[in-house]
Structure 1
Amino acid sequence: AGVVVEDTEASVRLAGCCTPVPPDELTGFVVRGGAVTVHRRACRAVAAMREIGRAPVEARWEDAEGREPEAGCRVTLVAESFGRPHLLADLTEAIATADAAIVSATVEPPSEQRVRHTYTLRLPDAAGLPALMRAMRDVAGV
């Protein structure tokens, strides 16, 4: 799924301040270099941009075929932990228990007894993200 900004060929990036995910309502602003930064409509930065007179541009979610996205959202999470036996199994169990599907996973080799896991996941909806993150944090050593 991607973001469509009407009437522009400019590059588009998601704002780091509010990290929008489907099905959040979106708005964007043209930034230096002509790129468009897309925010959640409720983001504090949106209010600040409007206060200084910046004109918003329309933005919406779109899937790969150009349709509105299906229900669900895709997120990438990074977990850092102390290395221990069964850690990967415990993390994947926490992910499955939170009704998330693993799209891809990478586990970096331990460095000073710390392990870094990167998961790209599909959730039924963005509302489940806080519970998923809590479940992952509750795994011993994470």
Structure 2
Amino acid sequence: AGCCTPVPPDAITAFAVRGGAVTVHRAGCPSVERMKEVGRAEVGVRWGDSAECRVTLTAESFGRAHLLADLTEAIALEGVAIVSATVEPPTQQRVRHTYTLQLPDAAHLPGLMRAMRAVPGVYDVSRAQHPAAAAH
């Protein structure tokens, strides 16, 4: 699910949605409670052996010249592909970058987050928790 972008080894649960598809959420995602409240049945899921995974990270930073270039370079040097990126306009000299990334393996996540935090001006990198849209 795009609202919480689970990756191994996150605890997960899933719900059937239209067309026979299944959305997989992190167990602590606010959408899980909403799905249960509207009567959606949980589907048993577990992580398979597939290595690639997609995750959304938010980097909080102080604004400075070349920050975007330095962050994208740090991501690329970790061997991670950028699927999408948004940069919010600065507020009080602080900038929020949100990246959806394709990792070759979930084991790369801690190192990637450390590499992003090491970029000068970045003071926090966290897993994004998107505001949940209406229940599916």
> What range describes the TM-score normalised by the shorter chain of this pair?
0.5 to 0.7
Q: What residue in structure 2 maps to residue 34 of structure 1?
A: 39
Q: Quick one: which of 44, 52, 65 aligns to 1:58?
A: 44
Map 1:15-26 → 2, pairs under 5 A: 15=26, 17=28
C-alpha distance 100-110 of structure 1, shift in aligned 2 (>3 A): same
Partner SS state of residue 45, structure 2: strand
- The TM-score, its normalising length taken from structure 1, stands at 0.60
* Aligned position for 1:91: 71
Q: Which runs of 5+ in 1 are unaligned?
A: 19-29, 38-56, 62-67
Query: Which gives a bigger RCO, structure 1 or 2 (Cα 8 Å, sep 6+)?
Result: 2
Supply the distance in 2 between the matched residues of 1:9 and 1:97 (Cα, whole angstroms): 37
For residues 124 and 71 of structure 1, the distance between their equivalents in structure 2, rounded to whole angstroms, comes to 6
Larger Rg: 1
Is there any run of 5+ residues in structure 2 with no aligned partner, and where? 3-11, 30-34, 123-136
- The AA in structure 2 aligned to 1:58 is G
Cα distance per residue 1:50-79 (max 9 Å; x no partner): xxxxxxx42257xxxxxx895300111010
Aligned residue pairs: how many?
A: 105
Report if the CA contact (8 A) 1:5-1:60 is conserved.
no
Structure-1 residue corresponding to 2:95: 115
Q: Hey, what's the Cα distance between the residues in 1 that align with 2:41 and 2:116? A: 33
The match for 1:21 is none
1:76 aligns with 56
Partner SS, residue 51 of structure 2: coil
Counterpart CA distance in 1 for 2:41 and 2:59 is 30
Note the C-alpha offset of 1:34: 1.8
Percent of paired sites with the same residue: 62
d(CA) in 1 for partners of 2:77 and 2:56? Answer: 17
Distance 1:116 1:16, change over 3 A: farther
Query: What letter matches 2:99 in structure 1?
Result: Y
What secondary structure sits across from 1:17 in the alignment? coil
Aligned counterparts of 1:118 and 1:92: Cα–Cα separation in 2: 11
